[in-house]
A = this chain, B = another copy of it.
Amino acid sequence: MSKSYRVAILGATGAVGTELLELLASRKFPLADLKLLASPRSAGRTMQFGEEHLPVEPVGELSFDNVDIVLASAGGSTSKLWAPKAVEAGAVVVDNSSAFRMEPQVPLVVPEVNPEAAADHRGIIANPNCTTILMSVAVWPLHRVQPVKRMVAATYQSASGAGARAMEEVKEQAKAILAGETPQKEIFPYPLAFNLFPHNSKLNKLGYCEEEMKMVNETRKIFGSPEMRITATCVRVPVLRAHSEAINLEFDRPFSVEKARDILSQAPGVRLVEDWQANYFPMPIEASGKDEVLVGRIREDISNPGGLEFWLSGDQIRKGAALNAVQIAELLVAKNWVRKAAAAVSV
């Protein structure tokens, strides 16, 4: 006799929502019921789940009655509005937005890094920022062996980070440019096809954008290292899906390349991709659709012997968002951490 759970996806029709649906089916999540919720604008259509076609319902006051787990991926303001109501109705919410990530009582969880943090949830568990998740999966196995003193990251972020429509926008822009026409823009402030620009999230007084500060603050919280020194330059690139990152790490004492390679070759959620003869390393087209973060080019930093540099590519929608959320839900199930108040249905 195994338990199964009543799950709702809030924001089912978006890029991450679509992926959540696929993952719940392919990973055989123990479902008693699956409810698809979206804004009234997106509701009314049906979406495929395995062999079934499920209706997308408009989210409302009664949506979370008889729901055990909510996977929310509809943006910060939607989560702020509906997550507390879902918790009140007895559900646990795994939230993809940035709304609750830095609240002290909300666990911020990457299952390969800090699964135990999920135990203390009070109804909401936050899924970290995509860029942070991908980096955390690769840096944590090193950090737990020898603490990282300082990290300098530069990112190469795909259009998918801004949603499904952003991916279409880049394709349309590329078509226009190849036809000798002027590219149109709607989602991004500047043309992205055959171009790139610093991440267009809001800048703080120090000149860091939100995306960069997420890498700084969320990593510190996930790692439980509030003093960790981190800086990042986040950049949008004309790639459709999967982010890449150049990571430079400083340690208190030298970290050998061999040891790092050995650790990362066995690290959960990491796939080592290195063929030095063929100059073959992680690439976004190969990371797309994959569960693992591809890691390679692990080398000693010649400007700081004993420091390390490496390169990664990871699917932003999958491990960077939907997969991490489903893994959190699986963790809750495995550890019996789905909220006691929620009625788990025995089948």
Residues of B within 8 A of A257 (CB): 207
Given contacts A174-B178, A178-B174, A238-B239, contact A299 B154 (CB under 8 A): no
Is A156 interfacial (CB-CB < 8 Å)?
yes
Q: Please report which residues of chain A, range 235-286, place their CB below 8 angstroms from some CB of chain B when the two chains form the complex.
A: 235, 237-240, 244, 246, 248, 257, 276, 278-281, 283-285
Q: Are B276 and A248 in contact, with the CB atoms below 8 A?
A: no
Q: List 24 A-B contacts (CB under 8 A).
A: A150-B304, A152-B248, A154-B233, A175-B178, A178-B178, A189-B278, A190-B283, A194-B239, A194-B285, A195-B283, A195-B284, A196-B237, A196-B239, A196-B283, A197-B283, A200-B279, A206-B302, A207-B298, A207-B299, A208-B302, A230-B303, A231-B309, A233-B248, A237-B238
Is A198 interfacial (CB-CB < 8 Å)?
yes
Q: Please report which residues of chain A, range 294-314, place their CB below 8 angstroms from some CB of chain B when the two chains form the complex.
A: 297-304, 309, 311
Q: Are A285 and B195 in contact, with the CB atoms below 8 A?
A: yes
Q: Are A198 and B281 in contact, with the CB atoms below 8 A?
A: yes
Tell me the complex Cα distance, A303–B202, Å. 20
Q: Please report which residues of chain A, range 132-172, place their CB below 8 angstroms from some CB of chain B when the two chains form the complex.
A: 150-152, 154, 156, 170-171
Q: Please report which residues of chain A, range 58-115, place their CB below 8 angstroms from some CB of chain B when the two chains form the complex.
A: none
Is A345 interfacial (CB-CB < 8 Å)?
no
Other-chain contact of A304, B231, B246, B285 (Cβ < 8 Å): B231
Interface residues on A, range: 35 or more
Closest CB-CB distance, A212 to chain B, in whole Å?
Answer: 9
Tell me the complex Cα distance, A235–B309, Å. 14
| Nearest residue, chain B, Cβ from A171 | B178
Q: Are A235 and B285 in contact, with the CB atoms below 8 A?
A: no
Closest CB-CB distance, A85 to chain B, in whole Å?
Answer: 34
Given contacts A237-B237, A276-B207, contact A231 B301 (CB under 8 A): yes
Tell me the complex Cα distance, A197–B156, Å. 10
Q: Are B231 and A246 in contact, with the CB atoms below 8 A?
A: no
Tell me the complex Cα distance, A209–B302, Å. 12
Is A216 interfacial (CB-CB < 8 Å)?
yes
Q: Are A156 and B200 in contact, with the CB atoms below 8 A?
A: no
Residues of B within 8 A of A54 (CB): none
| Nearest residue, chain B, Cβ from A193 | B174
Residues of B within 8 A of A285 (CB): 190-191, 194-195
Closest CB-CB distance, A216 to chain B, in whole Å?
Answer: 7
Q: Are A279 and B203 in contact, with the CB atoms below 8 A?
A: yes
Q: Are B235 and A156 in contact, with the CB atoms below 8 A?
A: yes
Given contacts A194-B238, A198-B279, A198-B311, contact A152 B303 (CB under 8 A): yes
Residues of B within 8 A of A231 (CB): 248, 301-304, 309
Is A340 interfacial (CB-CB < 8 Å)?
no
Residues of B within 8 A of A283 (CB): 190, 195-197
Tell me the complex Cα distance, A308–B57, Å. 50
| Nearest residue, chain B, Cβ from A231 | B303
Residues of B within 8 A of A302 (CB): 206, 208, 216, 230-231
Is A27 interfacial (CB-CB < 8 Å)?
no
